Structure 1
Amino acid sequence: MAKHMVDNAVAGSAPHAIIMLDVDGTLVDYENHLPDSAVTAIRKARGNGHKVFICTGRSKAEVYPPLWEIGLDGIIGGNGSYVECDGQVVLHRTLSLEQCRCVVDWLHGRGLEFYLESNDGLFASEGFEHGALKAVRAYNAAKGHEEENTAITVRGVFPDMIFGAELYRSDVNKISYVLNAYEDSLAAKAYFNDLQHGTWGGKGATALFGDIGVNGITKRYAIHRLLEYLGVDRAQTIAFGDAAIDISMLEYCAVGVAMGNASDDVKNIADFITDEVGNDGLAHAFRRLSLI
């Protein structure tokens, strides 16, 4: 989108923009720090009549109180599997019990640790606490830290994760799993060709985690369904993101903003690039877009 189109889109949407915020790497940094400037900007924007939604890979169980306390109009969670607006459920798509059972058995058979993402909680595989430790520390290091932080623990990163629970469930939005190699993701796509697949924690062959969810569910699709519910046009939408999973929503929305810490593939398709999360990137972009 050319710069003049960005200006026109913002001018047209200023009375009541629909703002979509990715969470990790966009609203909070990779150590889960929430900048005060972002909180203030969101509250001012909502005070000006704009609606603000988080649009995240996290399921609702992983959206902790500090995020809700900002003041939000709703959530798109599970990379699009769950949509809630003003407390009303707009969309909720889950894997069937049989689909969940097949994926869990396949991951067990391949020796991959994983966790089930449900609105009722995050449910870890038997060896996840130990098996995911290297990937969790590498994820932290890959996002701007010089070396792996050996003080990081799986339970510290996932404070409410549930261990030892039933893993055959019918309420699962998606399943994330540790990649021993990128080929694990390719194998999952080939075996479960009727499900939605993604990777995260890195780019290309350096990805650290894979995920498996309901076929056809993306952030883009969920935003489309939310706009139908609200009865508004996507010309009013502004999206913020930092990772490859955000590309579909940045391309779909009228204005797509990449964080300064975003990967190059995101920056290349964005309408403009703001500062990093920790350098008040959201607040700066909100001012540039005349939201505050």
Structure 2
Amino acid sequence: MGKIIFIDVDGTLLDYENKLPASADIAIKEARKNGHHVYIWNIGLDGMIGGNGSYVKDKDTVVMYQLITLEQCKHIVDWCHSRNLEFYLESNNGLFTSKNFEEKGNPVIKVYCQRKGKENASEQTVCTVFSEMIYGGELYRDDCNKVSFILNSYQDHLDSIKEFPDLKPGTWGGADEIALFGDLGVKGIDKAHAIDELLKYLGASLEDTFAFGDAKVDIPMLEYCNVGVAVNSGGDEIKAMADYVTDDVDKDGIYKAFVHFGLIDDVLNLC
């Protein structure tokens, strides 16, 4: 078995317009030709991992699947509605959003993209960043991996910790008090745990692993894998702890890192 590569999607593999750079596509195809295995969050190739680590699949085999229960989901939805928090539910069947998420989310998405250094951040909307969202769907669900909600204030996150002791609260879109979103996931689950479960299933060695990410939520997998790579447009926290920082996603960062670590040859002469 070759190396095992784990790649986050938003901001790492895809840019903030959900576009896959041609160089990244070539890098992945060349790496797989060279016998390496590529696992992308929420996208199936050799397999996929979803819900921040609650769902693990290798080819056609589901290795692990841990969900927020229907009762927990109802609790979250009702709590968000009671506090006028707009939210979306992440499941393997799609992203199901609250009624006013787009209206409330558009200015927040612009700030999020500005913080990521996106050149046309002022033009970004919920539709451009989350084009796959489903409006008007059932919100009391038994297939939910994670819930994200727009923070009216950081106090919403602090209150979620007290309200949901049976779940794992977090934030994203900014560090601590400047966070834009809160989220709630399955307790005891993160990306590192998912990778550990997959490696056990594969009988693979941790020494052969690479992880690529850009956000705080990716830090556990970068810490766990043998080599952790952050993209330059990522947050300061993840770049500080990464083993290697590569270029932005839209500046051929994935391709350049693959070449740097000898996973592929420089067929494009970019390095």
Normalised by the length of structure 2, the TM-score is 0.92
CA distance in 2, matches of 1:146, 1:235: 37
Is 2:93 the counterpart of 1:93? no
| Moved segments of 4+, more than 4 Å | none
Is 2:60 the counterpart of 1:74? no
CA distance in 1, matches of 2:164, 2:244: 36
* Counterpart among 144, 151, 169 of residue 172 in structure 1: 144
CA distance in 1, matches of 2:128, 2:119: 20
Larger mean Cα displacement after TM superposition, 111-120 or 202-211:
202-211
Larger mean Cα displacement after TM superposition, 215-224 or 203-212:
203-212
* 8 A Cα contact 1:31 1:140, kept in partner: no
Q: How does 1:17-36 map to 2 (within 5 A)?
A: 17-36=3-22
Is 2:261 the counterpart of 1:289? yes
Q: How does 1:38-49 map to 2 (within 5 A)?
A: 38-49=24-35
Gaps of 5+ in 2: 265-271
CA distance in 2, matches of 1:118, 1:22: 17
Post-superposition offset of 1:200: 1.4
CA distance in 1, matches of 2:57, 2:134: 24
* SS in structure 1 of the partner of residue 18 of structure 2: coil
Post-superposition offset of 1:28: 1.2
Flag the 1:27–1:113 CA change in 2: closer, same or farther, 3 A: same
Is 2:200 the counterpart of 1:200? no
Q: Which residue of 2 aligns with 1:154?
A: 126
* 8 A Cα contact 2:107 2:125, kept in partner: no
Post-superposition offset of 1:222: 0.3
* 8 A Cα contact 2:116 2:234, kept in partner: no
CA distance in 1, matches of 2:216, 2:93: 27
Post-superposition offset of 1:25: 1.4
Post-superposition offset of 1:154: 2.4
* Counterpart among 234, 239, 242 of residue 267 in structure 1: 239
* SS in structure 1 of the partner of residue 30 of structure 2: helix
Could you report, residue by residue, the CA deviation over 1:91-144 in whole angstroms, capped at 9, with x for unpaired residues? 111111110111111111111000111111211112212122221222122211
Post-superposition offset of 1:241: 1.0
Give the partner amino acid of 1:42: I
Q: Which residue of 2 aligns with 1:212?
A: 184
Q: How does 1:245-264 map to 2 (within 5 A)?
A: 245-264=217-236
Is 2:82 the counterpart of 1:109? yes
* SS in structure 2 of the partner of residue 136 of structure 1: helix
Gaps of 5+ in 1: 1-14
Post-superposition offset of 1:146: 6.0
Give the partner amino acid of 1:223: I
CA distance in 2, matches of 1:39, 1:164: 34
Could you report, residue by residue, the CA deviation over 1:185-235 in whole angstroms, capped at 9, with x for unpaired residues? 111012112211221122222211111011011000000001011111111
* Counterpart among 156, 161, 173 of residue 184 in structure 1: 156
* SS in structure 2 of the partner of residue 132 of structure 1: helix
CA distance in 2, matches of 1:266, 1:129: 29
Normalised by the length of structure 1, the TM-score is 0.86
Flag the 1:175–1:236 CA change in 2: closer, same or farther, 3 A: same
Could you report, residue by residue, the CA deviation over 1:145-172 in whole angstroms, capped at 9, with x for unpaired residues? 46752x4332333223222222111111
Give the partner amino acid of 1:184: D
* SS in structure 2 of the partner of residue 80 of structure 1: coil
Q: Which residue of 1 aligns with 2:269?
A: none
Could you report, residue by residue, the CA deviation over 1:27-80 in whole angstroms, capped at 9, with x for unpaired residues? 11222221111111111110010000013xxxx4xx5xxxx5xxx211111110
* SS in structure 2 of the partner of residue 27 of structure 1: coil
Post-superposition offset of 1:173: 0.6
